[in-house]
A and B are shown apart, each in its own frame.
Chain A
Amino acid sequence: MAGHSEKVDSATLWGGNGSPFRLSYGKQWMWFFLVSDALTFGGLLCTYGYFRHQYGDWPVGEEVFNAMPFLGNGFPLLYVALMTFILIVSSVTMVLAVEAGHRLDKKAVIKWLTLTVIGGAFFVGSQAWEWYHFIHGSHYGVILTPELMNDGWASIREVAGGGFSLDYGHGQMITDPALVSQYMAEPLGAIQGANMIENEYAPMIPQFGNLFFFITGFHGFHVLSGVVINLIILINVKKGVYDERGHFEMVEKVGLYWHFVDLVWVFVFTFFYLV
């Protein structure tokens, strides 16, 4: 870092005999790879935006994602906020590992890189739970009724004193027991959970499930490969591969990849869950 920003006139800089960016090949190409990967994710998120824009009506994130492990429903955004926090923290431990590498402090690199791997594993595990929950759906799923709200699709909710109510989303409910049991006895259709063909969160928008699976799945695959790559570099650090080189730039390069994974999640978090 420090050495990269010193003043050099452009004739020397671009005159050959060295990188015009004063960067090593490995780091420069890691950046180029990240730009191409960012184009892939940018394309996917723009596709998400395309369908959202086209349909106009779109499920509200906090109504869909409001479950916590062991605690059930009623916790809007809390679980995904926790996941986001875990990923940010693992990004911080990674940047601390890179900083320790610049001081050739091998012990500290091992400590921070280990914590990064653990944080990443936690995130992948959380995403697995999120998927499990998304695929299995709510306890009773949704049914199709002859109502105009939400195109007739309602979630079945248990009422505290026994019996059920119908939740049409956006705070619209039918609580009249006679009407509820009539609709539940002869539903015009029913969906529970989500797959590539239909989903209970947006019964009229199959793309909602598809985009969720594709985008969070592609991101989760990146996290998983990031954990594996970090692990490989951690083993190399332990074996003393980088002591011989006199620098820990490999840690910095995998760090770039890891921060990129965090960066993508920041956008996924906003567009899938917040807005």
Chain B
Amino acid sequence: MLRDDLDLDNEYALSANHDEEHGRVLRKKIWKVTAILTAITIVEVITGGSIKQYYDGVPNDSWWMIKWGFIILTLVKAGYIVLSFMHLGDERKNFKYMILVPYTLFIVYLIFHLFTEAAYWGEIIHH
């Protein structure tokens, strides 16, 4: 039986192949992203090790800024991994949005509901 769908499948896979010159450009980009990810991790660890959440038992009032800084840096790292290392940024736009948009919507929805519920129960249990 003729399986032209498999031929087509193979064609898609083959279209990802590239020559030496294009490879050089890509490798340069890979090392650049590596440097960025490493730098972010180093900054996170130094910040986490030097700024405390509590000083002598008293909560650090500006910790929320550090916390949000960590969360934003994490999302930046995640963006580089997904779009660059996993090449999602190079796929067709329709595929990219099909992967990212429903997931993001659902997780934001889940976080909103769970945290609202958690705060509610926290109030009841602790006060």
Enumerate chain A interface residues (CB-CB to B < 8 A).
Answer: 1-5, 13, 17-28, 31, 35, 38-39, 42-43, 46-47, 49-56, 60-62, 76-78, 81, 84-85, 88-89, 91-92, 94-96, 99-100, 102-104, 149, 168-172, 245-247, 249, 252, 255-256, 259-260, 262-263, 266-267, 269-270, 273-275
Could you say which residues of chain A place their CB within 8 Å of the CB of B27? 96, 99
Assuming A43-B110, A47-B114, A256-B86, is B16 touching A102 (CB within 8 A)?
A: yes
Could you say which residues of chain B place their CB within 8 Å of the CB of A168? 57
Complex CA distance for A35 and B16, rounded to whole angstroms: 22
Tell me if B23 and A23 are in contact (CB < 8 A): no
Tell me if A103 and B52 are in contact (CB < 8 A): no
The total number of A-B Cβ pairs within 8 Å is 200
Tell me if B22 and A60 are in contact (CB < 8 A): no
Tell me if B121 and A54 are in contact (CB < 8 A): yes
B34-74 CB contacts (< 8 Å) to partner A: 34, 37-38, 41-42, 44-45, 48-49, 52-57, 66-67, 70-71, 74
Could you say which residues of chain A place their CB within 8 Å of the CB of B53? 60, 170
Assuming A42-B110, A46-B111, is B119 touching A54 (CB within 8 A)?
A: yes
Complex CA distance for A135 and B55, rounded to whole angstroms: 28
Assuming A171-B57, A275-B71, is B91 touching A5 (CB within 8 A)?
A: yes
Tell me if B74 and A266 are in contact (CB < 8 A): yes
Enumerate chain B interface residues (CB-CB to A < 8 A).
Answer: 8-10, 12-20, 22-23, 26-27, 30, 34, 37-38, 41-42, 44-45, 48-49, 52-57, 66-67, 70-71, 74, 77-78, 81-82, 85-87, 90-92, 94-95, 98-99, 102-103, 106-107, 110-111, 114-115, 117-119, 121-122, 125-126
Tell me if B9 and A24 are in contact (CB < 8 A): yes
Tell me if A99 and B26 are in contact (CB < 8 A): yes
Cβ-defined partner of A96 (8 Å) among B30, B41, B82, B110: B30
For residue A20, which residue of chain B has the nearest CB? B94
Tell me if A274 and B48 are in contact (CB < 8 A): yes
Cβ-defined partner of B85 (8 Å) among A23, A38, A95, A269: A95
Assuming A5-B92, A35-B103, is B30 touching A249 (CB within 8 A)?
A: no
